[in-house]
Structure 1
Amino acid sequence: MLKQHLGETAGSADQKPWTIGYDGWQTNSRAGLSRPRAALMLNSVALTLSPVDTASMTDKSQPRYGEHVVSWTTIWDELNPDPDDAGVPPHGDHEAAEMHRLRGLVMAQAAETEAALGAILKQVDPAVNIERMTAGQLLSTLQQKLSPNAGSNQAIALDFIRQAIRRRNHSVHNTVRVGHSWRSYTTGGGEWVSVISIMGDSEYDEHDLLADLAFQQEATVAAARLLMSLS
């Protein structure tokens, strides 16, 4: 159990030793400890799927959790309920919904830029096979074939697209975590309130993702202009 690993119980909602929670990790500000949000450590239990569980993966045509992104720790806690986790912060899947929506737009817009890169490369070298090339590979191949002079419009466009690909990767490969703090009522009781959202290793929110989307759109514009200059 987690309290055996940490030497401290999770506590009830009234005790609140674990006051700040992230989707994936929780921090005890008093003890200076961190622990996985999931009820049990991954290497301490073997998950087995029953025939019913396996069938549910393939037979259902509708998403199990609806049109939402659900964190793996939410599913983990659902599969492995632990009474010691009573009163801990929520995962924040619903609070992160708008960030996930914007992440999807960032990725979709980046795909448009990737398609434009493929069209540019076919324009430059019709014999090249672009079918299995990633955006980064397309860009690198274009860089080699065009060999643009430093500071030229082509060089500026390719560098801008390279930055856009890096920003896209940040949205693709990082998960969103929402941190909560317990707000007590003067009349008794209280509620968990979301206080921070994190993507990767830094604070990130909807405004940052909106800026990412704007960057991706400008990268698509740069790619289209580059194709036009070569046509």
Structure 2
Amino acid sequence: MVTETSPSPKLAPTVGSRNRWFAYASPAVFYPLAGKLIPWFFALAALLTCVGLYIGFFIAPTDFQQGDSYRIIFLHVPAAWMSMVIYLAMAFWAVIGLVFNTRLSSMMASALAPTGTMFTFLALWTGSLWGKPTWGTWWVWDARLTSYLILLFLYIGFISLQAALDDARRADKAGAVLALVGVVNIPIIYFSVQWWNTLHQGSSISFTAAPTMVATMLWGMLIMALAFWAYSIAAALTRVRCIILEREKRSDWVRELVEKQS
């Protein structure tokens, strides 16, 4: 297993330089930084998950209409949020890599896709578990659920398209185009309950109105959302380090890194 070590001095960012942050666009410089951040984000994710689940399952009151079955929202809603946020982040990095030809940007897009896929599946699965006792059905082909299923297919398509092409550059470009086209699905998901008559209930949290839920419920969901954020960052950084080593395996700094660890 390869662990992080500092890259060659000539690759390290110079403190005080105007462009010091741009130095982290180099995989050789970003690799050790990611290794230092990963345990902190995993620890933060674990702590926030414990706090959020405790609030959601033991402190938040029972809903007067849905009983305790509603408590699945402490997984369902944050997962749904993260699946959309990660897709936007994935599309952003993919397009940055396409436009500016930056290797690390394309690697970040590839690293985010599996985590986004997981959260999309989790949102669909927990939504079905919640829907059965609440609305009497596991699934309906309404606008919200159908557009979310399309999001899952977009993630799977992105991963499959990149895996199908042997040339990394071609795979990054093809994935960026698909990701950019799929961005149109995000506002459809978000506004579907307002644009169409759907079985799915409207949002309990709005940027333009006060929340319609008890404060402890809101805090539980927000803390779980932060936990999923921390996990997503840690997972993406872990995965991007593997991608960096795979794509940069012929570079001098990777050979030097491997030799030091062998």
**Global fold match (TM > 0.5):** no
After TM superposition, the score normalised by the length of structure 2 is: 0.25
Structure with bigger gyration radius = 1
- Greater RCO (CA < 8 Å, at least 6 residues apart): 2
